A and B are shown apart, each in its own frame.
Chain A
Amino acid sequence: MEALTTIRPELLTLTDGQLQALMPYFLVFGGISLAIIASVLRSLKPKWPVFILGMLTTIAGICSASGLLGSQAGSELIFNGMMVSDAYSNFFNIVFLASAAFTLLSSFRYLDHEQLQHPEYYVLVLFSALGMMLMASALDLIVLFIALELMSLSVYVLVGFRRADRRCNEAAMKYFILGSAASAILLYGSALLYGMTGSTNIRDILAFVQAHPQGLPVVYVLGAWLVLVGFLFKVATVPFHMWMPDVYEGAPTPVTGFMTTGLKAAAFAAFVRVLISAGYGKGLVTAVQSHFHDILWVSAVLTMLVGNIVALTQVNLKRMLAYSSIAHSGYILVGMIAGPGSEQGYAPVVMYLVAYAVMNLGAFVVLTILAGRDDSGLNLQDLAGLSRRHPWLSFAMGVFMFSMAGIPPTAGFAAKYLLFYSAVQANEIPLVIIAVLCSAISVYYYLRVLVYIYMRDPAGSPAASRVSVWSLVAVSAMVVLTLQIGILPAKMVSAAKKAVTSL
């Protein structure tokens, strides 16, 4: 019997490459620590320093991650294979940090306006972004779970940030309880996987799957199934979507924007990584493969149908965008189903996540500007005649709505085209037909917003909202990005392809 070796010296040091690969995480955590210190200093009013620290942190993180994306060849395993720094994780790090940065930009004036200007807000957004970054790079189910909790815990608090508001409290409570239940399901599934495979590392789990081509134990499938349910809950697909509209409506508008983009991208990024390792791919166990395929297929169809059809009847814009967000989760699931069968692999999924993040964040920044006190004034009627009050914002909203409906020349069209094309390649013709039909339904409720903005007369003469420079910067950047990805998608496609090759 060989003796246990519990201290392995090679695990106690970090090589230069590993230190470099950890740079984005160190920068963000350093920024968080500074922001916490700045928010308790009594001598200065914490609003400006914490906001600027937050912005600097995200920008530094983006710079460092994009530097790694350019220079790193292959992937760097860190901490005994607990996490990995590769093109995939760095690509998503940029997405998460950018989404956090634009959320901070659009929140600044909003928090003043709502008298919610507390420095903890910025710190929590950064914490949540750190959780997302770790989620996309976790290679171990334990790390994945802790990262998920770090992300969710911060967002639970952000959702309930407007303490005096009943709806806001209800949304936070609902999200907290249901989210914890989903985390518990995910954790139980991970425990079962660990019990069957003897490892929590997702590469080792993949090795276990590959070593059993004739079939896997039932308990393994049960565990994988529970993990799947946990993720499907986090990305809010039908039938695990019930929490989403209430939470999206109750949360402060910039937080909702952050949730639809960062949170969703993080959940999908980790979902893809784990699903592949759990045996979802060509050439692995056929029974498991088709089992997962069927679950995802049913969920994707239901998600697209329910999301799009219920969105038709919504008059509150935040609720409408919540259902539209559910529908978009359905499209992304289509990409995940097609992943193993098409030659682009999961690149369309990554591309779609980016396009969706850009256009949706843009739409929510516009809503944040327009929101009245306590997020009132976000119904369709309130937008009537907006083109006369805010011509530039109306144009921006138009671009985002066209993009979400998937009309060229916008990012939404390019992403949808790529996604459906890969599904055709994977021979998922019925799925593509349903997806395209759902997409056609969605044009109605997206363009209805524009009808109100441009063609209806307002009731009375509503005053124009004050637009802060920060929000204007955010909206303009999103419009430019939406059009740029739409007109010249090649660069983004190749970046997405590079990201998924490292999976």
Chain B
Amino acid sequence: MDISPVFFYLFAGLALGCSLLVVLKKNPVASAFNLVMVFFAFAGIYAMLDAHLIAALQVLVYAGAIMVLFLFVIMLLNADVPSFDLQRSHPGARVVAGLLCAVLLLAFVWAFKNSPSPVEPGQFSASRIEAAGGNTRVVSELLFSEYILPFELTSVLLLGAIVGAVAIAKRKQKVGAGGGVK
């Protein structure tokens, strides 16, 4: 499997840059749009890894459905009004945080440079997946056989999250606006 380095660095750079913007932008709507770009860049990387199904799902589900919900919530909550002072952090703290991040980054670079390339490629190589009937088939079959437990547990997790969301949202009229919705 060959990955064109040009496209890899393009997509990876795009993902990194946009992720930074998600954090740094003060306007939540701008952050959300940058997040869409991150998702598209990821989809590009997935497609280069021959995971076409995941790439398509990434665009459809994340960049499409989930981000629309995100934007709805942000706009409904009127969250572009800053509710706290962003300038509160001490400039010294920023310098220290930046230095620590740089150290961590260097540690990661060093570790990856000094490690042998990962163990032999796993059983799911592109040609074998092709022979077994393609991405969609293999993913769906694995999801309902080998990975059935995590798959079902995710549904339980979502159910729990729904109950939690109800618990947070239900009493809103009584206590008036306050706090954010997670």
Contact = CB atoms under 8 A, between A and B. Distances in A.
Contacts of A134: 153
A456 interface: no
A150 B114 CA distance: 36
B131 to A, nearest CB: 6
B168 A4 contact: no
A140 to B, nearest CB: 7
Contact of A197 (B119, B150, B153, B157): B119
Interface stretch (A154-162, A378-386, A458-466, A481-489): A154-162
A4 B123 contact: yes
Contacts of B167: 118, 120-121, 124, 157, 161
A60 B131 CA distance: 48
A446 to B, nearest CB: 35
A130 B157 CA distance: 10
A269 B108 CA distance: 29
Contacts of A402: none
B157 A153 contact: yes
A8 B141 CA distance: 10
A124 B129 CA distance: 41
A212 B4 CA distance: 33
A149 B160 CA distance: 10
Contact of A153 (B107, B122, B161, B178): B161
A120 B163 contact: yes
B128 A157 contact: no
Given A6-B138, A147-B153, A217 B145 contact: no
- Size bracket of the B interface: 35 or more
Contact of A130 (B141, B156, B166, B171): B156
Interface in B104-154: 107-108, 110-112, 114-116, 118-120, 122-124, 127-129, 131-132, 137-138, 141-142, 145-150, 153-154
B180 interface: yes
Given A6-B132, A147-B153, A219-B111, A1 B163 contact: no
B164 interface: yes
Which DSSP category, helix, strand, loop or mixed, fits chain A's interface? helix
Looking at chain B's contact residues, the main secondary structure is helix
A12 B142 CA distance: 11
B112 A79 contact: no
Interface residues of A, number: 54
A463 B150 CA distance: 52
B156 A150 contact: yes
Interface in A1-29: 1, 3-4, 6-8, 11-12, 29
Nearest to A11: B145
Contacts of A173: 179-180
Contacts of B120: 198
Contact of B118 (A4, A79, A121, A195): A195
B140 to A, nearest CB: 9
Nearest to A199: B122
A123 B114 contact: no
Contacts of A221: 111
A36 B156 CA distance: 13
A196 B119 CA distance: 6
B182 interface: yes
Nearest to B108: A222
Contact of B157 (A123, A146, A219): A146
Given A130-B156, A219-B111, A4 B129 contact: yes
A163 interface: yes
14 contacts: A3-B128, A4-B138, A11-B145, A29-B156, A36-B163, A80-B145, A118-B167, A127-B160, A140-B149, A140-B150, A153-B157, A157-B164, A163-B172, A218-B114
Q: Which 3 A-B pairs have the closest CB atoms?
A: A120-B167, A157-B164, A4-B132
Interface of B: 107-108, 110-112, 114-116, 118-120, 122-124, 127-129, 131-132, 137-138, 141-142, 145-150, 153-154, 156-157, 159-161, 163-164, 166-168, 170-172, 174-175, 178-180, 182
